[in-house]
Structure 1
Amino acid sequence: MKLERESLNLLQKAIEKLESGFDLPDLDQSYDSKKMEEVILRAAEKMQDNYPYFHPLFAGQMLKPPHPIAKAAYMMAMWINPNNHAMDGSKASSPMEKEVVADLAKMFGWNEHLGHLTGGGTMANLEALWVSGKIHPEKKIIASDQAHYTHERISEVLKLNFDKVATDHQGRIDLAALEEKLKKGDVGTVVCTMGTTGLGAVDPLDKILELQTKYNFRIHADAAYGGYFKLLTNLVEHTKNKYSVIDQVDSIVIDPHKQGLQPYGCGCVIFKNPEVAKFYIHDSPYTYFTSDELHLGEISLECSRAGASAVALWATHQLMPPVVNGQFATDLEKSRSAALKLYEKLSSNENFFPIVKPETDIVTWGLKGKCTSHMSELAHAFFKKAEENSLYLSLYKYPTSKLNNPDFDIDSEYLVCLRSSLMKPEHEDWLEEIWDRMIASL
């Protein structure tokens, strides 16, 4: 399979268009092109030592290729290399960032908001928890034991109290366990994971909102992976219900570089109440002379940020707006459909058993055996055999304490499973090929 190269034609035309907008004297820029060619070809050779992340047969980790329009727009912007910290360094790309953040806020049901792009979900979640700590400085941050580990680590960095709450066998936050912690009155923020990275499970936001009316805490939705699933029409009803009330949370994080077809790193944090801007106020020794408007550096903990990320996301939104029934949503629905089809195949095969029915596009399964330790060994062997068959999966450790009435012996703390993130729309068309290679790997 050849790598996509049509975007090179787009890039050439875009650079020529960009250059025509500057009426300046010629600048003599001489480089050693022969030496540069030698170096770049060596770099390309080194980059061959990669898994084929761009191909549907890579069905393991959360790695999704950027859309050609995003790649071309990002590279075109690099000829300017804007810095979206302040308007002085991003006269064009800062307004583009504000526009795409407004698109994402609207997707979640917010017209009024405060937000910006970040270098990724970790930084975005850090800002959300930082604001939570400002509002409830003496209270705890609560997240499920299946939430991303970044929340516990961030809380430690910010010197905030953090606590985990148990999940059910589906990988969703356990409501009874959560309420027991809320009864103590020392919880300031509950992190609701809208799509865990392990099982793709969506926490019961609708039920957590009901608890909020009783116990008065903030809700932060970590939708870094699963935020775009709000657009889908092929979710099960209980998952739709969770996404339907996401506009009622206090803050949201989403990563366009996961499901949003963007290059790394492109995260986003959005707050429902624009008044949280007061926590960002700072005095700068620099004089920003370009605009009297609030610049992005005044509502961000990060300073220098790649304006190219905003340009790439803006171009992608122009081509494929993040709206229900649009091309972007339709492609994401194919990923969801592929996950359901793989689940059905796993369920009907005597060698496999799925851990949970997928809520999103992540499928996790084990290999049948007499006991969990042996089943884990089988999973490791299957993983290696699949790679020999040019099928690239990932491994996942599932706590055996959460297994629901298994018909095998539990003799280990974890069960090693196989896991697939079917993030590419092509995965639906390639599913039969993927399945054939799975069977050949037994």
Structure 2
Amino acid sequence: MASFKVTGGRKLSGEITPQGAKNEALQILCAVVLTAEPVTIHNIPNIRDVNQLIDLLGDMGVKIRRLSESSIEFDASQVNIEYLESETYKAKAAALRGSVMLLGPTLARFKKGRIPSPGGDKIGRRRLDTHFTGFMKLGAKFNYSAEDGGFYEVDASHLTGAYMLLDEASVTGTANILMAAVLAKGTTTIYHAACEPYIQQLCKMLNRMGAKISGIGSNLLTIEGVDILGGTEHTMLPDMIEIGSFIGMAAMTQSEITIKNCKIPELGIIPDVFRKLGIKLEFRGDDIFVPAQEHYELENFIDGSMLTISDHPWPGFTPDLLSIILVTAIQAKGTVLIHQKMFESRLFFVDRLIEMGAQIILCDPHRATVVGFDRKQNLKGIRMSSPDIRAGVSLLIAAMSATGTSIIDNIEQIDRGYQNIDTRLNALGAEIVRI
């Protein structure tokens, strides 16, 4: 197990380019299984979760030709579907939450799919009902076997288009059902679909491959099934969660940085939420300039009541950035209520922040009140452990702003979602040592 030794109090300066979007990568990479023709993907992030999925695709028989550090050509013309029965597949897929999105493509093309209970962040209940209910609406038969560690099996000899109202606007559920529906007979209508930029990117890629998807960017998607899909070329968006993390990091460490190539129109309300914390941002073309700020003051609502920031399905504020907002508010002037609606374990990392000296009241598993310091005191360095990807980076931001040295254990969680984060931040002036 690796750790970060972080020396706090270092101000950053310079330019940093966000990696390709992790959450987009996991579904885009699974989509290459839908066609026997080559698919080239650009701006692939070099992170653990993505690399594990690429490795899994290779084991399935997908030919992988690396064109550059971030570009790969995939050829799924000779997929070995029997690999899904192997112990190796079980072990690798169980360790990777994104493996669940292989079900839609394998159902569509090979009429069956199989995954073990998938892994990922321990941030609360993350049910798969939306995925399987959607598959069954399309005519698939679902079976869960609790034996041998738990396996989800789906058979789909005849997928047929159907109307469905999703019980939640699940991003991975929408992606999975989309990928199954593009090769189904007839028309599929998905209402209450997720409409995140990642889903829009997947839809555009599938349409370039020959799919017929309309309603892109809305919560009502219509898919006219086709018989076959072809190859394509696709470039992934920059990771909006990394962009938000860098904004919060700059504010907490009083640093002046420029975040390059942000695809600002795809960020939705993310910049506006950081502005509610009092953080100044300048858009310079497609770059975001964050000036060094000695103070930033939280907004109140128009009636003077305390600011509340909560997560919502897109185009609302993404839950993946609430941990970053929470830690950034520690040095703001004012008080804010953070309401994490989706995951009941995602705020438990605040215990570590309280141990560092933060003024936070954990009201319940979903809500925390942060009373900002306004720079009147600093956090202090401690030893702590990263419970999940987003909390891990939030703790890293706290450590970088603290007085003294911090040790963050279990940084494999951070590596799952952030590409060479220590090297990239050290280039800006941070002092992070991997031990």
Short-chain TM bin: under 0.3
If each structure's strand is expressed as a fraction of its own residues, which one has the higher value?
2
With the length of structure 1 as denominator, give the TM-score of the two structures. 0.25
The structure whose Rg is larger is 1
* TM-score (norm: length of structure 2): 0.25
Higher helix share: 1
